[in-house]
């Protein structure tokens, strides 16, 4: 029995290794967004005491949110935070200086106060970085959700929480920006001008970075519904993109977008839009990822 048990253990271990590798390949798009975790950024925003503190956390190596190297100089990029404010609406732009003359928006955190003690937020990944606008929001928190709904699973690559909105009012950074004396934070740093404490590090491979990203999965989810509807109209005219980044990644972005198809099917609960992406992993295998949106 002992040889059989050893063989079984080896077989299971080998299967686990293959499964893990395949999962990593399936989640890889070859786009810059593979190197920046939207969920990790939200988690750091939750922990931060202010937008300035959030910027520092984003650019701290051990926090595993940022692995970007948009200018391909072999070092991680410094991510600036810029708060664009209008009334109770805040759009925190996460931006990288690609050169002395070019910047590139990575994502925006859209925050809105919805009541005396309620607020909602999402992070939206830029379409040039993620291939399309990618929306991530918290699914649990210290405060209870003030609108509940159902958790829907659509295969191993995608989980969506429909109708669940987490109240983020108790997050320290949220309370900070709604204080009467708050002045909108705008990072003072730019190309080649960084804080004294910052030390860039060499980016790691996707295979190394990916496991560090997935730990945030249970607390954050990709969704298709925008909660802060005013944010897109407010931010869009101010969006900043880099010609260098667009040119460098144009082939991968085009390939990613060309493999996406949207179909509408009628199920037992009404019409559902199904969006399928064929993703090519670093090992050349192709995996289809499907997102469903109820109409």
pLDDT in tens, 13-62: 444 333 333 333 446 889 999 999 999 999 999 999 999 999 999 999 99
Q: E strand or H helix at 129, and its extent?
A: helix 127-130
* Amino acid 281: pLDDT: 44
Sequential DSSP letters for 187-216: ---BTTB--TT----PPPPHHHHHHHHHTT
* pTM of the model as a whole: 0.77
What does the pLDDT profile of the chain (295 residues) look like in tens digits?
555 454 444 444 444 333 333 333 446 889 999 999 999 999 999 999 999 999 999 999 999 999 999 999 999 999 999 999 999 999 999 999 999 999 999 999 999 999 999 999 999 999 999 999 999 999 975 544 444 444 444 344 444 445 578 999 999 999 999 999 999 999 999 999 999 999 999 999 999 998 887 777 778 999 999 999 999 999 999 999 999 999 998 888 888 888 775 543 444 444 445 555 544 444 455 555 555 444 4
* Amino acid 213: pLDDT: 79
Mean pLDDT for all residues in the chain: 81
SS3 250: helix
Distance between CA atoms of residues 136 and 108, nearest Å: 11
80 near 94, Cβ under 8 Å? yes
Q: E strand or H helix at 251, and its extent?
A: helix 250-258
**For the purposes of burial, counting CB atoms within 10 Å of the CB of 32, is it exposed (0-12), middle (13-18) or buried (19 or more)?**
buried
Residue 267: φ, ψ to 5°: -110, -175
Which sequence spans correspond to the domains of the chain?
31-241
How far does the chain reach from its first CA to its final CA, in angstroms?
56
Identify any residues that bridge with 274 across adjacent strands, giving them in sequence order: 263, 292
Nearest alpha carbon to residue 146 among 116, 179, 176: 116
Nearest alpha carbon to residue 192 among 279, 115, 77, 274: 77
- The token pair that represents 17 in the structure block: 């290794």
244 near 97, Cβ under 8 Å? no
Distance between CA atoms of residues 153 and 267, nearest Å: 15
- The token pair that represents 108 in the structure block: 């925006």
């Amino acid at each position: 029995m002992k040889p059989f048990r050893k063989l079984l253990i080896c077989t299971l271990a080998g299967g686990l290794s293959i499964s893990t590798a395949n999962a990593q390949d399936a989640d890889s798009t070859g786009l810059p967004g593979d190197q920046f975790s939207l969920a990790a950024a939200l988690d750091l925003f939750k922990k931060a005491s202010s937008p300035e503190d959030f910027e520092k956390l984003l650019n701290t190596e051990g926090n595993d949110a940022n692995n970007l190297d948009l200018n391909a100089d072999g070092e991680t990029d410094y991510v600036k935070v810029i708060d664009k404010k209008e009334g109770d609406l805040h759009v925190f732009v996460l931006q990288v200086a690609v050169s002395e003359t070019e910047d590139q928006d990575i994502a925006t955190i859209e925050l809105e106060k919805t009541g005396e003690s309620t607020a909602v937020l999402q992070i939206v990944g830029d379409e040039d970085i993620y291939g399309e606008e990618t929306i991530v929001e918290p699914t649990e928190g210290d405060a209870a959700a003030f609108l509940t709904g159902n958790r829907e699973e659509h295969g191993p690559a995608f989980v969506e929480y429909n109708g669940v909105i987490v109240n983020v009012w108790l997050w320290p950074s949220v309370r900070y920006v709604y204080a009467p004396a708050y002045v909108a934070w705008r990072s003072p740093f730019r190309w080649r001008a960084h804080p004294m404490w910052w030390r860039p590090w060499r980016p790691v491979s996707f295979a190394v970075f990916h496991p560090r990203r997935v730990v945030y999965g249970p607390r954050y989810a990709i969704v298709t519904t925008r909660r802060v509807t005013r944010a897109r109209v407010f931010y869009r005219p101010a969006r900043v993109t880099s010609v260098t980044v667009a040119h460098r990644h144009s082939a991968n972005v085009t390939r990613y977008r060309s493999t996406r198809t949207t179909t509408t099917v009628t199920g037992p609960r009404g019409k559902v839009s199904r969006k399928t992406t064929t993703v090519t992993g670093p090992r050349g295998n192709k995996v289809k990822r499907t997102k469903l949106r109820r109409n």
